[in-house]
Amino acid sequence: EDAEYKKLCENHKHLIETLPKCNGWWTPHLHNYNGFWLSPDILKANLLLHTYFKSHPTDIFLASFMKSGTTWLKALVFSTLNRHCYTFSDHYLHKHNPHSAFSPLDAESYPITDFTNSSTPRVFSTHFTRTMLPACMSSCKFVYVCRDPKDVLISMWHFMNKIRSKDLPPLSLDEAFELFCLGVSDYGPFWEQVLSYWSASLEYPDKILFLKYEDMKKEPEVVVKKLAAFVGKPITVEEEEKGVVREIVKLCSFENLSNLEVNKEGFEKFGRLVNIEKRDFFRKGVIGDWKNYLTKEMKERIDGITAQKFKGSGLIF
Ligand code: A3P
C-alpha cells in the first residue's frame, strides 16, 4: 500500500466520523458529502476516483441515477459501438450481463481497476453527480439517462430491499418515500443529480447526450441512431436498410435480455464488496409502475418537488 492510499484511507475514516449521516437504503448509513448522500464504500470510491483516475480524451461515460435504465443503456451502447464485432445470432450479450461490458467508476477497488485492457473508446459508468467527478473528465463525452422519479423510487425500493443487509429490517415503502423526498438516497438528492447533467448538456450539447427512459421506450430506434452518431459511429443508410437498428433494439429489449439464461442466475460483482444477483437488474421494465404503489398524496408530493426543483430549467416530466 502506498502512502497516498494510506492518506486516502485516513481521510475517508475522518469523513465517515464527521460528515452528517442519515439512515441508508441498503447500508446502515449514508453520509452527506458536498451535498450528496453516499454510502461509506461509495464515498471511498469517489476519493479513489479523484486520486487515481486519469481520463483519456476519447473516454465515454454512461451516467445515470440508480434505477433509471443503466443496464439498458449499457446494452445499447455496447451493441451499437461493437456492431461490427458480433452477429445478432451470436452476440456477447447472449452470454454476458450488460454490466460486465463496462466498468463502473463507483466501485470501491484499490488501486482503481486496471483499465488498460479496455478497448478504445474506453466506456465507464457512474452514478456520481456531475459536480462530484474529477475535472479531467469534463472534456469527455457523457451519455446520461434519466427517468420519472416516481418510477425510480419504486424500482429502487424493490431493488434495495433485495440487496439490503439482512441485519437490517426491511425498508418500508413509507420510509423509502420519505427518504427519497428528502433527497436521502444513494447518490441523491435525485433532482440535483439530474440537474447537474441537464445543465451541463445545455452548456455542452456536443459532449453530453441527455436521454429519457420514457423516450427510449417509446422510440428506441431513434435513440439508437442518436447514440450511434454521438459515439462517432453513425448508422449508415445501408445498415438501416439491413435492419441493424431494429436488431440492436431487439437484442437489448427488456423481454430479450431478461429471458436470457445468463441474466437469470449468478451474480455481478461491483468492486470488491458488492455482489448483485443478475436477475435483480430486471424487474418489470415499464413506464408508470408507480401507479400500483403510490397514493394520490404521494404522487402529488413528488410531482410538486419535481416541478419546484426543475422550474426554469427547461426539463419537464
Ligand atoms: P423496474 O424496476 O421499474 O422494472 P438500472 O439498470 O439503472 O439499475 O435500472 C433498472 C430498471 O431498468 C428496472 O426498472 C429494470 O427492470 C429496468 N430495465 C432493465 N433492463 C431493461 C431493458 N432492457 N429495457 C427496459 N428497462 C430495463
Q: What is the ipTM of this complex?
A: 0.99
Distance of CA 283 from the midpoint of ligand 1 (Å): 7
- Coil, helix or strand for 53? coil
Residues 6+ apart with CB under 8 A from 69: 145, 147, 213, 216
Ligand 1: residue of 147, 194, 279, 281 to mutate (most ligand atoms within 8 A of CB) is 281
Question: Please, what sign has the CA dihedral across residues 198, 216, 118, 46?
Answer: positive
198 three-state secondary structure: helix
Query: Mutate which of 91, 147, 151, 155 to test ligand 1's pocket (most atoms within 8 Å of Cβ)?
Result: 155
pLDDT by residue (tens digit) across 137-173?
999 999 999 999 999 999 999 999 999 988 889 999 9
- What is the total residue count of the chain? 317
Grid coordinates standing for 298?
404521494
Q: CATH homologous superfamily for 3-310?
A: P-loop containing nucleotide triphosphate hydrolases (3.40.50.300)
- pLDDT tens readout for residues 1-50: 689 999 999 999 999 999 999 999 999 999 999 999 999 999 999 999 99
Atom number of ligand 1 nearest to Cα 155: 2
**pLDDT reported for residue 31:** 98
Rg of the chain over Cα atoms, rounded to whole angstroms, equals 19
Tell how far the Cα of 114 is from the centroid of ligand 1, in angstroms.
28
How far apart (Å, rounded) are the C-alpha atoms in residues 151 and 303? 12
**Residues with a known catalytic role:** 127
pTM for this predicted structure: 0.97
Q: Where are the domains of the chain?
A: 3-310
Q: Which residue has the cell 404521494?
A: 298
pLDDT above 70: percentage of residues in the chain: 97
**Which phi and psi (to 5°) does residue 19 adopt?**
-70, 150
pLDDT at 113 over 90: no
- Using the atom order of ligand 1, give the atom closest to the CA of residue 151: 3
Between β-strands 60-64 and 103-104, what pairing exists: parallel, antiparallel or unpaired?
Answer: unpaired
65 CA to middle of ligand 1, Å? 12
List the residue whose alpha carbon is closest to atom 27 of ligand 1. 285
**Nearest in space to 31 (alpha carbons), one of 48, 14, 50, 54:** 14
Average pLDDT over residues 46-57: 93
The set of protein residues with a Cβ atom below 6 angstroms from ligand 1 is 64, 66-72, 151, 155, 158, 252-254, 257, 281-285, 289
pLDDT tens string 228-287: 999 999 999 999 999 999 999 999 999 999 999 999 999 988 777 788 999 999 999 999
Ligand 1 centre and the CA of 185: distance in Å?
Answer: 18
